[in-house]
Structure formats: C-alpha cells, structure tokens
Structure 1
C-alpha cells in the first residue's frame, strides 16, 4: 500500500510539472535576454549642414532640402531619411580620427573643425543586415558619409557655434581644403617592380613601371630597366647580373645609389653556385630565393631548391634577417605554428623541424593583391599566419577587396589601389589595366599595357602630392640617360 501511495505521489508531481511548464500564465514567465539600453548613440539629432567631398548622385537642391531632418536613435529603431532599422544592434569602434578621415575622405579632420584625437564609429545593423554607419565626434556633434557628401548632425536642443564646423559654411557646400592638402589628394604615383624569366630560361629580367595620376588624369606609363627603389636616403637601382664561373652560372645582386644623373655601385652580393631570384624589394629590405646551380652529366644547367633569405638593403651581403629578432617572440611562435600546421596538412606531423634554420628561411611574396610572408622547410613552402609588417611592405591597402575585383575583372591575378583611392592597377596574366575608382566602385578602363610572359610583381612603392612631381622628374632624367 505504501509503495502504491508513493507511486501515485510521484505521478502527481510529474503531471503538475508538465502542466506548469506548458501553462502560459504569469506564474510561468518566459526568460528573455535583457536589451542593452545604454546605446552608443541615442535620442534625436538634427541635420545641420553638409559638404560635398567629391562627385555625388545627390543634387545640391536635394541636399539643401534635407537640412533640418531628424535622425532618431533608440533600442526599438533607428530612423533617418525615410529609412527605418527596427530592433537595431550597434557595433562601436574607437579609431584615430586622423587615420580615419585620411583613409575614408582624404582630408585632414582639422580642416572641418574636428580636433578630437579619437572618434567613435558606430555601425547599425538588424539581424546581421547592415543599415548605416555614423561617426560621433563628441556628445553634441555627429556625422555620416553617403555618396560623396558628409552630413553633419547636432544633438537636438544643443546650441552649436560655427567654430565647431570650421570651413563648413551653410551657404557654401564645397569643402574648403588647404592647397597643400588638395595637391596631396589629387596626385598619386606608383613605382611597380616586375620580373620575368629571361631569354635563356636560366634567370630573370627586372624592370620598373612608373604609373601616375594628376587631378584625375592617368599619365603615360614609363618603362625603366631594373628596379628603381625609393628610400629615405635617396633612390637606388637594384638588379641581378648573370656571370659564369667554371661553366656554372651564378648571380651577382647589385645595388646603386642614384643622383646628379650619375650612378655609383655601392653594394653587391655574390655566392658561388647560387642563382638568386628577387621576390620582393622594399624601402629597407630585399627578399630572395637562392637556388643551387649545377651541371648534370650531360652538361646541362640544373637548379636545386635552396633557401629563402631576407636581407637589409644596406647590407645584403651580410647575415639573413632573423624572424623572431625582427618582429618579436610572438611572431616567431606564429612562424613555428604555421610550419606545424603545414606538416599536419601534408600528413607529416611527426617530422621534426630545424627551428634555428626556420627563423631565417622565410620570404616576402605577392598573391591576390597582398604582400604575404612565406616560410620554407625541407618538406615544402607554406604561408606564415602573420601579417607582413609595415617595416617591410609600407603601404599595402587594397580597395575594394580582391574578391570584389575578381567579380568585375575575372582574369585579375593581382591589384594595387592608390592611397587616394582615385585609381586601381590590375594585373592579369597578359596585361596591366588601370581603372578609375568612383564612389567606392571600379569605374572606366583608362589604360592598358602589355605584360611579358609570366611577368609578376616584386615591388610596389607609392607617392602622393608634391612627391609625385619629384619622382616624375627623376624618372624622366633616367630615361634621358
């Protein structure tokens, strides 16, 4: 009897639990995530003025008619210009104001009265769908960029002095940009170093293309033999001279300073029985692939895989650059991790690596619009999971992304975007193409230039503003001589 009573009791408890769980009543509340009510931008903001920064599909009359419009921000929605984002989510980035405005608008923030060192960039989306981006300058001033216009907002109920909007006059929609800044924004130039296999098939030829733009016009492309390298100490020329030693080819890598229409040999690197292929040249460093050269039984020249090397231009006949010593222990651990990852991929995880040799057996290589780091071990070459630092590559920003470029230009294999984002250089297997960039999109094709068979890039150095004119004079003098 006691067992039956206990069994009935357990049954009743189970029934009550199931019924309670499924009854939709105040006794069984649903637990929902608490929304974050501390919004990065909240309340009502008034569109106070605007300025055109470039070409726009929005007319002057349309922009003027928008003055006084309100932008509303709450946890329920964001409303502006008849567009609604319901149940918004916000992502906030604190960025250096000078870098942000230079990269996105090609202006110095001080030219529009923004003196804050940092700004708050707020991205608004709903269910992972992007809605808009707003830039909060301070608690009273906010702006947004759209289609070649910067819109300036003030917090509702706030009185703003005109000094807050230096150079942005309600009666003048054109941005007042200092002459020096305007020149920087309007001129850009690229020294693009290229290599291809020479006529013997045993080495490489190198050349440099000078590509420049002035106030939206692409200038004629200039072709120069060898690699013209801009450095802080002045311009250099770098190349490879092929010589024969006891019937075996070896390469002499040389560097010369340029100036006063004269050249003076100052550096060279020569290793017996080694053929050196230049993979990359930067302002301070050179990266090479050193192949071992020998004659087979028939007397034919053969190449055997050797080592990578990265060396300072000022001492490229000296010791190789040690990865960890150059970039820190964290970088060194990423190099080792990348090698281990490669071994795992090729099912050689149990094989050991000479870590000391690994630290100097790496290179800089070009692929899909980026300079990348490559490592080498006896079992193959691998990508290093560490971004190429600016100490090596300097400016290397690509815009738009290579995936977007491939959609518009399917045969693209490499690309370079001007820091002013006014043009983009695209390489295919056979041609170099220059396109204009308009409103973040690839525009019309401006120029085409034939490439040699198998030609690829080993250097990319950019200049802006008055430096474009200086580089142009140097290039013209070199062509005369």
Structure 2
C-alpha cells in the first residue's frame, strides 16, 4: 500500500521521510488570486538528512499511487469558480479515461445546479489534503439574475478526493459518524451565545466545517455565517446585498483515521515552545526520530531523542511570507526509498530545488 499504510510496518535502516504540502498567499489574498502551492520531501536515513527536494505543486500519496492536486480557476461568462483537480502523476488514469471515451479530466464543467439563475464567483483555497479527503475554504459572491440580490460569505468545506472535480461537500455526520454531530451542535451553540445570536439563520451546519492545525494536531473547526450588523433590513438599504460575517469554533471530535491517518505528537508542546519560543506548530515522525518545528519564517528540522529535540538542527528551510503547512504524509523503511524515487522521477521533467546541507 502506498502512503500512510507504510506507517504500520517496520523501519529497516532507520529511514523516515515526510511529504510536506505548503500554501502561500498570492497578491490577491482577498479573492485567493495567485496562491502558490508546493511540496517538500524531507528524508532521514541513519541519522543523516538527504537533500530536501521541492516540487512546485501538491504531490500526495494514495493507495493507487501518487497524485497531483491543482486548483484551477474556470470562467464562463460572468461566472468564475475554482475547481479542484487530481491526476495520477504516472498518467494511468488519464490514459484509461481517454480509452473509455470519458471527458478530459483537465476540463471540468461548472455545476449547473450551483449556478442556475446566478452569476458571480466561488474562490477556494486548500487548508488540508490527505489520502482521501481535502479541506478547503471558500469565498462566495453570487448575484441573482432574477432580482439582482447579492449574497457574500466565506465558508469551510470538506470534499472526498474520489469525487473531484465534482465539488460535493461531505456532511459531518457522514465523515465522523452521527454521534459526532452532538459535539458540533455544542460548539456551535456555545459560539452563538458568545456572539449574542439566536439560531434563526441558515447556518448550513453539517457542511460548514473543515480541518485546521492546533499545537501539533489536526482538529475539526466549524463555522457559522450570520448577517452583518443590521441584518436583512440593513442589507436591503445597502443595495440588496446580503453580506455575512463568519466565526469559527472548535469541534471536540478527534478526526478519524480515514480522514487523518497519522495525527500523533511525540513530544510535549510545552517542550517544543521551551526549545523554540517562536514555534507555531510541530510535526513528529511515527518512528519518533524526526521533528519539524514550524515558525512564521522557517521550518526547523531536528533529530528526536527520547521525546526531545536534539540540537543542533539538521536543517532550516525558509518559508514564504504567510506560508502554511497543509499536508504531512509520513513514510518509513523501504517506502522512503520508493517515495524518493517517485519525487526524483517527477522532478526529472520539472524544475528541481535542493536546499544546501
């Protein structure tokens, strides 16, 4: 099995590697224009760090091989939407689809149901990508062609990778189980009370959630959308535009393994902060031999020993301004060599960057 299935095996030769997905804001952060995605391959063998490889896109593992994730902005007339596209990097799926006469997966169509009688935009950015699910944030502005009314809001969504490029959100109950909805409801009601709101708005509860990082873990975050001060009456005075504020809340449900396969922290967060006061996040390997401490400016790579960061650092990888980690996929043992070869093969036809050792 490709990907995280390697975590269950032994680690011959003490090899550990991680694919890190990164997202940096572009020049138009308000509409997610120019967002840059990249992948870093960081590998440790016998206590020595191999050259860090950089790939100028998101490359992620699945059971059937390695895939590339792209966010493509598609425009038709006065409609603009960001579509998520995944392709097997070896091209087997594309070749099979062409042989079967299927539509070119690189040319997705807009969903007529989403845009019937409307125009505007849906812009998306990726907050998390795993083997089978992707978490995004959406900024939406749609105008009714019937009466000219406009709605603006920002929301969170999770999509199944297998469903892409169809942008069909996965309900929280379907992802985490029906019993998890109670925790979502509790978090939402607590936030509504803090905001002094009543539950009279269309909150789209079960769809409006996603994944985020918090002190070394992936967690579920829900979101509510509510009209700006003045409500619908104020919106009518403002040119019939309904603009919604957003507020997030934590959902006290651990993401299940089929969503985030590996979500452990093998060093206390307080110990990380004591060692690197500027740390905002940390990723630790299943083998407990490698840690990547994230600050606003760089990723600091450390060996680990007995749940401690072993000085000096193995490497410091500079980050772009505002860049965040959206993926961490670990490999152990012989999978490290396989993944290294995959990255090198992919980069043979792409620009390659190695950080100096």
Give the TM-score, by structure 2 length: 0.75
Q: 1:334 aligns with which of 165, 179, 183?
A: 183
1:325 aligned residue (138, 157, 174): 174
Distance (Å, rounded) in 2 between the aligned partners of 1:394 and 1:269: 31
Aligned pair in 2 of structure 1 residues 358, 234: CA closer, same or farther (>3 Å)? same
Residue correspondence of structure 1 range 449-460 to structure 2 within 5 A: 449-460=317-328
Match of 2:19 among 166, 191, 198: 191
Partner of 1:253: 84
Structure 1 residue aligned with 2:296, among 429, 435, 443? 429
Note if contact 1:257-1:266 (Cα within 8 Å) is conserved in structure 2.
no
- For residues 166-188 of structure 1, the C-alpha deviation after alignment (integer angstroms, 9 at most, x for no partner) is xxxxxxxxxxxxxx94516x011
Q: Following the alignment from structure 2 to structure 1, what is the Cα–Cα distance between the partners of residues 253 and 287?
A: 27
> 1:319 aligns to what SS in structure 2?
coil
What's 2:55 paired with?
A: 224
Decide whether aligned partners of structure 1 residues 353 and 372 sit closer, same or farther in structure 2, where only a CA change above 3 A counts. Answer: farther
Change in Cα spacing, 1:324 to 1:269, as seen in structure 2 (3 Å) is farther
Residue number among 336, 342, 346 corresponding to 1:468 in the alignment: 336
**CA distance in 1 between partners of 2:207 and 2:142 (Å):** 24
For 2:45 and 2:68, locate their aligned partners in 1 and report how far apart those are by CA, in whole Å. 25
In structure 1, what is the Cα distance between the partners aligned to 2:76 and 2:110? Answer: 11
Distance verdict in 2 for CA 1:182–1:287, change over 3 Å = closer
Q: Give 1:289 deviation, angstroms.
A: 1.2
Give the SS at the match of 2:182. helix
Give the aligned partner of residue 72 of structure 2: 241
Structure 1 residue runs of 5 or longer lacking an equivalent are 1-105, 109-179, 296-302
Q: How many Å separate the matches in 2 of 1:292 and 1:477?
A: 38
CA displacement, residues 334-383 of structure 1 (integer Å, 9 cap, x when unaligned):
111110111122333x334647x201111111232111111111242111
State the distance in 1 between where 2:87 and 2:167 align: 17
Which of structures 1 and 2 has the larger relative contact order (alpha carbons within 8 angstroms, sep 6+)?
A: 2
Cα shift readout 1:12-31 (whole Å, capped 9, x = no counterpart): xxxxxxxxxxxxxxxxxxxx
**Cα deviations by residue, 1:53-92 (Å, 9 ceiling, x for unpaired):** xxxxxxxxxxxxxxxxxxxxxxxxxxxxxxxxxxxxxxxx
Contact residue 287 and residue 364 of structure 1 kept, 8 A: yes
Deviation at 1:197, TM superposition (A): 1.1
Residue 460 of structure 1: CA displacement?
Answer: 1.0
Q: Aligned runs of 1:126-137 on 2, under 5 Å?
A: none
> SS at the partner of 2:21?
strand
Paired positions, count:
295
**Partners of 1:206 and 1:227 within 8 A in 2:** yes
- Secondary structure of the residue aligned to 1:392 is coil
Task: Give structure 2 stretches of 5+ with no counterpart.
Answer: 1-6, 96-103, 116-120, 144-150, 227-246, 350-357
Matched, 1:393 2:237: no
1:208 to partner: Cα distance: 0.6
What's the counterpart of residue 369 of structure 1? 216
